[in-house]
Amino acid sequence: MGTVYDFSAKQLGGDDISLDRYRGEVLLIVNVASKCGFTPQYEGLEALQRNYQARGFSVLGFPCNQFGIQEPGDAKEIAQFCKLTYDVSFPMFGKIDVNGAHAHPLYEFLKSEQKGLLGTEPIKWNFTKFLIDRLGQVKGRYAPTTKPAEIASAIELLL
């Protein structure tokens, strides 16, 4: 049985890092986009980061351009948007695919561990959220319509 710690990903700045760096933390992994109807959720994600970071929690943002071409920018544009618009302090990674032949291996793992509505695996849209416990196991999958604040009680249970 694998964990999220078995994967690595490129940070927005281009450095490849192992997710093992987050071992022992509770994580919320989210595919994000800057031109989506759900983009204001950045504010709620940042609130979770600030509220729970000291207790061993982190949001990990993965920009994705697969849904309606809603993340067209390059790494610099994404970083600038996140900082200037939502003062994002949580780790942001390089743009990835979450579905299809070029889906990032982390997302293949997440989808196989926690199915979506009616047992489907594919990510339906931006701002799908996966909650990970301190052992690197997937404990929940939340739809794009689920506001970050609605996940707070589940996060607290894992902290």
Q: Where are the domains of the chain?
A: 4-158
Percent of the chain with pLDDT over 70: 99
Q: What is the pLDDT of residue 1?
A: 64
Mean pLDDT value across residues 101-122: 89
Cα separation values, 18 from 5, 8, 26, 133, 137, Å: 7, 4, 16, 17, 16
Q: What is the pLDDT of residue 120?
A: 75
Report the topology of domain 4-158. Answer: Glutaredoxin (3.40.30)
Q: What is the pLDDT of residue 114?
A: 86
Mean pLDDT value across residues 30-46: 95
pLDDT higher than 90, residue 101: yes
For residue 145, name the pLDDT band (cuts at 50, 70, 90). very high
SS3 state of residue 118:
helix
Q: Which one is catalytic: 4, 30, 33, 36?
A: 36
Q: CA 31, CA 68: separation in Å to the nearest integer?
A: 13
Return the bridge partners of 61, or none: 30, 92
Rounded to 10°, the helix 41-52/75-86 angle is: 80
Residue 138's H or E segment, with its range, is: strand 138-142
Q: What is the average pLDDT score of the chain?
A: 94
Confirm whether 64 is a catalytic residue. Answer: no
